Structure 1
Amino acid sequence: MSDGIVWLVDLKGWMSSVVFARGISPEELAVRLGGAPDGATEPITDREVEDLGVEWYRPGDDGDGVVRVGECGGWSFALEYWDPTGGDLLEEVSRDGVEVVRYVPIQEHPPAMVDYARDGVFLCGFGLREEIWRWGQEPDLLLPDLVAAGVLSPDGKTYLPPEDEDYQTGYRRSLGVLERRFGLSLSPAYLRDARLPAYAVRGTPRMTLDG
C-alpha cells in the first residue's frame, strides 16, 4: 500500500520543505537545487542532519541549506533543511519537461503552501485552507480537483468546509488532492531512521557529522 503524503500534516516541529520531481534522478534533483555533482555525504538519517556543521544565519550572507534525496513512487524527492533553495528554483528544477511539486509544511498560520511547476514554468500555487487565492501561469489548473474534493465551489471563489474546521482536517483534504492528481508518495521512514545521501545547496556548511 502507498504511504501517500497526507500523513505529512501530522509532522510536528519539522519546518523544512519537500520537493518532488518526476523525470530526473535524485542526484540530478540535488544538483538542480544547488548541490555539487560530487557533493553527496554518506547516507544519513533525518536526526543526523542536526549534527552537520550548519548555520541558520550569517550576517550579510545566506544561511546554510541542506537536502537529503531519494526516490519513492516514481518521483525523486528532496527533503529540505534550514535555509532551502526549492522555493527560488522551481523553474530551474522543472526545466526540460520535468514536473515539480513543493510542499512547505507550516502549521496553521501562515498556512502550509504547495507549488507546482512543469517544463520550466511555474504553473500554480496556493496556501492550504486558503485555496481561494491561487497564483501562477495557470492558477486554476487544480481547481477541478479541489472542487471534486469538496474544498472549493465550482467558481473557485468560496471555501466550502466550515471556517471553524480544524486546520489539520483541511490540510488532509487538500494534500489528498495532490496525492491523487500526481500519484505522490513518501514513506514516513525517511523522516525517522532511513538513511539518505545529503547535499549542501546553499551557504557553506561543513557537511560532516560531529564526533
Structure 2
Amino acid sequence: MADITEGRTCGIQWLADWGEWFAGLTFARGIGPEELAARLGAVPGVRPGPLGAPAAWSMVTETADGDGVARVGSWGGWSFAVEHGLPAGAERLAEVSRAGVEAVHLDPQPDHPPKQFAYARDGELVCCFGLGEECWRGGHRPDFLLPELVAAGLLGPDGSNPGPDDEPDEGRERRTLAVLEDRFGLALPRHLIADTPLPAYVTCTR
C-alpha cells in the first residue's frame, strides 16, 4: 500500500456537495493505516483484500449485525479509514487517539442528519458538534475550535448561533468543513472513497 503524498490540494470541502457521501471517515495522525484499523476494532485474521466501495458495501450485508467494513490508506500525513456500515470511529475515537495520537471523525448521518464531527487527542474526546449545529458543542474542551468558528462567521463571539441565515445547508457545511480542513490539515481525494481498491478490514463495533 503506497503512502500518497501529492499534497493537500483536494481538501475536504467537496464532501459538502457530494450526494454520495454515505461512509464514515476516520483520520488519525501518529499511527499507520494498519494500526488505525486495529484500533477501530478490526477482527483478527479477517482480511478480505483490497476492496472498492461497491464491494465493501456488499460485504457489509454479509457481516454480523454490529460489524462494518473499513478501507484504509494514507494521505497528506494522516492515515484514514473509509467506514462502510456502522462507523466504528464514532464509538472508538478516544481509543484511536490513545498514546499521543490525534483523531478526527466525520459521520455523514444520511438517515439522521446533521452530519457529525468529533476530534480526540491522547485518549480524550476534545470536542464534537453537528455541522450546522456548531452552537451545541460537546467534549472535554467544547470551545476548542470556537475562535476558528467565530472567524468563519459560523458562530457569534459567545459561541451562539449568529442569527438567521438564508445560506443553503451545503454552503454552511462547506464553511465548517473549510474550518476543519485548515485547522487540522485534512485532505482526501474523492477517488479514494469512491473508486480505489484499498486494504479492507471487518470492524466490530460492539
Q: Tell me whether the two structures share a fold, i.e. TM-score over 0.5.
A: yes
1:43 CA drift (Å): 1.3
Q: Report the Cα distance in structure 1 between the residues aligned to 2:60 and 2:30, rounded to whole angstroms.
A: 31
Q: Report the Cα distance in structure 2 between the residues aligned to 1:95 and 1:69, rounded to whole angstroms.
A: 19
1:124 CA drift (Å): 0.3
Letter in 1 for 2:190: P
User: Which residue matches 1:98?
Assistant: 101
Pick closer, same or farther for the CA change 1:198–1:140 going to 2, 3 Å: same
With 147-156 and 47-56 compared, the bigger mean Cα shift is at 47-56
User: Which residue matches 1:209?
Assistant: none
Within the candidate set 45, 49, 52, 2:52 is matched to 45
Q: Which runs of 4+ in 1 moved over 6 A?
A: none
* Contact persistence 2:57–2:84 (CA under 8 A): no
Where does the alignment leave 5 or more consecutive residues of structure 1 unmatched? 204-211
Pick closer, same or farther for the CA change 1:195–1:132 going to 2, 3 Å: same
Q: Report the Cα distance in structure 2 between the residues aligned to 1:72 and 1:7, rounded to whole angstroms.
A: 16
User: Which residue matches 2:204?
Assistant: 202
* Contact persistence 1:84–1:202 (CA under 8 A): no
Question: Does 2:12 correspond to 1:10?
Answer: no
Within the candidate set 175, 178, 196, 1:176 is matched to 178
1:169 CA drift (Å): 0.3
Secondary structure at 1:29 match in 2: helix
Q: Report the Cα distance in structure 2 between the residues aligned to 1:80 and 1:118, rounded to whole angstroms.
A: 20
Secondary structure at 1:88 match in 2: helix
Alignment of 1:25-104 (within 5 A): 25-36=32-43, 38-52=45-59, 54-55=61-62, 62-104=65-107
Secondary structure at 1:133 match in 2: strand
Q: Report the Cα distance in structure 2 between the residues aligned to 1:108 and 1:50, rounded to whole angstroms.
A: 16
1:83 CA drift (Å): 1.8
User: Which residue matches 2:136?
Assistant: 133
Q: Report the Cα distance in structure 2 between the residues aligned to 1:88 and 1:81, rounded to whole angstroms.
A: 14
More helix by share: 2
Residues 175-194 of structure 1 show CA distances to partners (whole Å, capped at 9, x for unaligned) of 00000000000011112321
State TM-score, norm by structure 1. Answer: 0.87
Secondary structure at 1:52 match in 2: helix
Residues 4-54 of structure 1 show CA distances to partners (whole Å, capped at 9, x for unaligned) of 001111232442210000000000000000114553332121122133263
User: Which residue matches 1:118?
Assistant: 121
Letter in 2 for 1:158: N
* Contact persistence 1:108–1:167 (CA under 8 A): no
Q: Report the Cα distance in structure 1 between the residues aligned to 2:15 and 2:58, rounded to whole angstroms.
A: 23
Q: Report the Cα distance in structure 1 between the residues aligned to 2:59 and 2:137, rounded to whole angstroms.
A: 37
Secondary structure at 1:139 match in 2: coil
Question: Does 2:22 correspond to 1:19?
Answer: no
Q: Report the Cα distance in structure 2 between the residues aligned to 1:108 and 1:65, rounded to whole angstroms.
A: 17
Aligned length: 198
Q: Report the Cα distance in structure 2 between the residues aligned to 1:65 and 1:106, rounded to whole angstroms.
A: 15
Q: Report the Cα distance in structure 1 between the residues aligned to 2:165 and 2:74, rounded to whole angstroms.
A: 37
1:121 CA drift (Å): 0.4
* Contact persistence 1:94–1:121 (CA under 8 A): yes
1:55 CA drift (Å): 4.4
Secondary structure at 1:44 match in 2: coil
